Every structure is written in structure tokens, then in C-alpha cells.
Amino acid sequence: MITALKSIANRLRGTSSKLTTVEVLERALELLGPDGKYWVNSLPMRTCDFCVVTAVSAACPTYSMAPALAKIREAAGLSKHAAVDIWNDAPERTFPEVRAAFLKAIELAKAEQEAAHV
């Protein structure tokens, strides 16, 4: 487990400060691990666990989290001012819901990115 996280962290360290929102979301989802192995929605957190917000933060150490979190809000059907951490921490929240929100957010970000290049 720790080895896998170190591998991901090493890859992230070498990233450019010009990550796209798509890249940030994809990397954050990867940090949550297969089947949500490293996702958490309650305390206490182990040092190798991530909620949605901490995964996005870890995925973009030199990039603003705001665009990625905005896409997650949109994908999850939250208002634009809703706290993603509150959504993540809801006791009824499941990893399949989190994963679905990330996948939809990635698609929304890709569509926005493609529209900007037309």
C-alpha cells in the first residue's frame, strides 16, 4: 500500500505547474486507489488515506484546486458554493458515488477543454 502511494507521489512530484483540470482530476482519482482503497469519508484518517479534497490537493501541489473542485461540484449536482468535503464526508456517501462524480467531472472538463480549443 505505502509503496503504491510512494510511486504515485514520485510521479506527481515531477509534474508541470501547468496541469489541466482533466489531469488533476485523473490523478486525484488514481490517489483514491482501486475500488476506493485509499478513500475515506470519516475520521480518523491514516496518513495514506484521502478524501476528495485532499486527493485533489495532493494531485495539484502547484495548481489551484478550484477548477477541479468546481467540476466535482457540477458532476455531483451540488451548488457552486457547496463544500465538497461535506459532500464527501456524508455518512451515506459511498466510493462508487465518489468515483462516478470524478468520472463525470473528467468528462465535463474534457468537453470544456475541447470547446476552448475550437
pLDDT in tens, 37-80: 999 998 766 778 999 999 999 999 877 899 999 999 999 999 99
Q: What is the pLDDT of residue 42?
A: 81
DSSP, res 45: P
Q: Rounded to two decimals, what is the model's pTM?
A: 0.83
Q: Report yes or no: 108 and 75 within 8 Å, Cβ to Cβ.
A: yes
Q: Please state the domain count of the chain.
A: 1
Write out the residue range of the structural domain in which residue 11 sits: 2-116
